[in-house]
Amino acid sequence: MTITTEVCVVGGGPGGRALALALVRLGRRVVLLEQRTGGARVFRGESVSPDGVRLLAGLDVLERVREHTHEVHRLEIADKGARVLDVRFETFPYAYRHPVELAQPVLLSALAEAAAEQGGCTVVEPASAAELLLDGCAVRGVRARTPDGLMEIRAEITVGADGRYSSVRRLSGLDRVAKRTPLERDVIWMKLPFPAAWDRRAYRVRISSGRHGLFLPSTDGTLRVGLNIPKGGLRELRSGGLGQLHARLAELAPELEKEAVDGIRGWSDTTLLDIFTTDVRRWSAPGVVLIGDAAHTLSPVLGQGVNHALADAVALAPLLADALGAPRSGRPAALAAAVLAFQQTREGAVRRSRGLQLRQERMFSLSARPAAALRRTVYRAMNASPALQRRVLAPAYFPGQRPGPAAVLRRTEQRT
């Protein structure tokens, strides 16, 4: 079976779904390939930054998901048992100022429903990219593997939105210009009962010597915990039994001792995330372009993956739509110019987020006593200066927004 379309999007995560929606809203035809059916995947990341909220509003999706969001008001860092930073998002002078937690299956369903209502988007699932269709050196679509056999999707442009282990990146040869950098730590994710004494509207980072953990409220009422361990250190941790895991959590958050025992009854209650960044020097080749984690894998610090995927989709869609409207003879050149303009538009924001993440990872990991004392001094200085908070956090949370008095008008709009 062969389908002919304008754009083939490989990957039905937030970036792929958002791109499909944005394109059909602009009148373009899309085929989206999703490897799993019905959004049946386990997600740990639920955090949508204030700028991600803005992007969802621009796609007319925010109202569809608003009742399922959990708004966050504070970011708190405690070091060696003492609070050293307490950021209040309501003090930032932007139209969309609060992050929200939003389960990704809910987000994906809303994006899919909005695209279906627009028309013009054909979803094939389950389907995975087996190989790329070539015309000389240019990609002209995908040969997809489905339960009914191989299917050809012929497209003028193919988009790899298929995540950190992207098949499109590998099949297109763009892996050869990708630099993968393992970080010094991995993360064990788990969910615990939410402690009654804790504020449900806060993100928390707990640091003790060179160890740290992320403690995030979840939309299902539980506490999402990301415990950092040395790279490749899971086997050593497991050799000490669950008691050692419970002890690590209690070291960072003694008030969670009971919740840790109640919530983690076996290693199957945890998930290991291998932490690395991938910097793809070139995001495109003739007839193909990468977005989201396929183009620029980030670490989980400050929850940037989903937000950059959404930003990529919103930036790329109008460029592709305009290029596809060019006369057929000039369309390949127009598409080539569009994908280059897309990378030029987005790579600065990605580079700033990656730099901030890596700096925070290094700060969290300082273990020598003088270095840890310096870390606490830095966070206390930031806590005392709203201007410094804006300077440090704006590139991560508000990259697409400009400060101004009009932002005050949005304060009540985002309440959930």
36 shares its domain with 130 = yes
Residue by residue, DSSP assigns 318-352 as HHHHHHHTS-GGGHHHHHHHHHHHHHHHHHHHHHH
* Predicted pLDDT at 356: 84
Range of the domain at 226: 184-273
> Longest C-alpha distance within the chain, in Å?
67
- Establish if 245 belongs to a structural domain: yes
Distance CA 121, CA 22 (A): 11
354 shares its domain with 254 = no
Among the candidates 224, 249, 273, a domain finishes at 273
- pTM confidence score: 0.93
* Predicted pLDDT at 413: 43
12 shares its domain with 135 = yes
Burial 2-29 (b: 16+ CB within 10 A, else e): ebebbbbbbbbbbbbbbbbbbbbbbebb
- Establish if 143 belongs to a structural domain: yes
For residue 35, the 8-state DSSP code is S
305 shares its domain with 176 = yes
* Predicted pLDDT at 38: 52
- Establish if 333 belongs to a structural domain: yes
203 shares its domain with 295 = no
59 shares its domain with 103 = yes
- Establish if 15 belongs to a structural domain: yes
- Establish if 388 belongs to a structural domain: no
Mean pLDDT per 10-residue interval, the chain, length 416 residues = 96 96 98 76 72 96 97 96 96 95 94 97 96 96 96 98 96 93 88 95 93 93 93 92 94 93 94 88 97 89 82 98 96 97 95 84 86 94 95 88 63 41
* Predicted pLDDT at 303: 65
**What are the residues whose beta carbons fall under 8 Å from the beta carbon of 402, sequence distance 6 or more?**
94
Distance CA 90, CA 201 (A): 12
Number of Cα atoms under 13 Å in the Cβ half of residue 56: 28
144 shares its domain with 189 = no
| Residue 29 φ then ψ, to 5° | -100, 135
Radius of gyration of the chain (CA): 22
42 shares its domain with 120 = yes
For residue 267, the domain's CATH number is 3.30.9.30
126 shares its domain with 201 = no
Among the candidates 337, 360, 383, a domain finishes at 360
242 shares its domain with 191 = yes
* Predicted pLDDT at 360: 82
- Establish if 77 belongs to a structural domain: no
For residue 126, the domain's CATH number is 3.50.50.60
- Establish if 254 belongs to a structural domain: yes
* Predicted pLDDT at 302: 62
* Predicted pLDDT at 238: 94
The number of distinct structural domains making up the chain is 2
Tokens (6 digits) for 54: 């803005």
157 shares its domain with 194 = no
Among the candidates 220, 249, 273, a domain finishes at 273
- Establish if 311 belongs to a structural domain: yes
140 shares its domain with 289 = yes
Nearest to 211 by CA among 401, 363, 49, 33: 363
